[in-house]
Structure 1
């Protein structure tokens, strides 16, 4: 059995055998073991727009104001073993004194708590965009991953409308719209999910 923390209520982890899921209906900060974990703590207050949007009237926020979710997830991984996923360049890494991994890939020591970190592109594992991602792992087997950047991906609508240079700046993620855009952007591809689960289940 493993625990999957901070997952979508109707997401890719739901219904998997031997996976105890903690969605929005459960407070994953209260997880008390004993199983190793895969954690996807919320990232909105740790990313590029952690303080809010660029519009003058956008709400303002404090960096790291996630009600203790990342702190609890990091503590759980260190105690019970597992892997934590966050966007590349997450401000949580310097905030919690974790070493930033190189974009070209490879595991490096993350801290003095036995943790390891790396940068991996989810585009190698089924995501429609490159989606560079940082992992923090502790007490698990560290696999060789598909390191390095993905091939360049341009949205055909953006390319046709704006040309190559602007389509490259816009990227794939920004072209996702509609009421489910946040869910789509945050989704974990099945292959990437299975990779994280295998790391936790194949502990040394």
Structure 2
């Protein structure tokens, strides 16, 4: 068994054998163990738009606080260190520096993340089925470190977005910004099945390694 923490209710981690999904209703900050984990802690307050949408800030003057995620990243980091497995966050996440984690090369390759046995890398989810490149940071403890499909790919602007909004606006929205919107962020934040399966396999290996120790 592995536990998938901070996942979407009814999303890609549901209805899978040997996966215990924790959505917002279950509150993954309360995860008691004992299974290794795949951690998808919320990233909104750690990314480049941590303060909020520029238009909203301009209209209201209200800015969010960097890292104000109600302790989700801190709890997720504690869980992956304690139970083993893998944690993911977007490339450019401010959480890596805030928690003293080494920022790996954008081009890929595992490097030591800290002095507690962690390893980190960057890999594009676009190489595993996402419609955009979506570079992603991984942080692993006590599990296999697989060779991944490393590299920096060419930008992937959605042709439908370019046709509907024009190239200039499509570039401003970015590769993931044009799909979904409002309450429907699933196209942007959804985890492609091949990438999900990779993360699950990494977490499952933590069980094997610990039983062999």
CA RMSD of aligned residues (A): 1.6
52, 57, 60: which one aligns with 2:59: 57
Structure 2 gaps of 5+ residues are none
**Alignment partner of 1:72 is 2:75:** yes
| 1:157 CA drift (Å) | 3.6
**Alignment partner of 1:120 is 2:123:** yes
User: Secondary structure at 2:45's aligned position in 1?
Assistant: helix
Tell me which residue corresponds to 1:19: 19
Q: Count residues in correspondence.
A: 203
Per the normalisation by structure 1, the TM-score is 0.93
| 1:24 CA drift (Å) | 1.1
Per the normalisation by structure 2, the TM-score is 0.89
User: Secondary structure at 2:54's aligned position in 1?
Assistant: coil
69, 92, 96: which one aligns with 1:93: 96
Check conservation: 1:82, 1:140, Cα contact below 8 A. yes
Structure 1 gaps of 5+ residues are none
Check conservation: 1:5, 1:38, Cα contact below 8 A. yes
Tell me which residue corresponds to 2:133: 130
Tell me which residue corresponds to 2:8: 8
User: Secondary structure at 1:197's aligned position in 2?
Assistant: helix
Tell me which residue corresponds to 1:187: 190
For residues 30-49 of structure 1, what are the structure 2 equivalents within 5 Å?
30-49=30-49
The CA distance in 2 between the partners of 1:43 and 1:178, in whole Å, is 16
The CA distance in 2 between the partners of 1:142 and 1:89, in whole Å, is 21
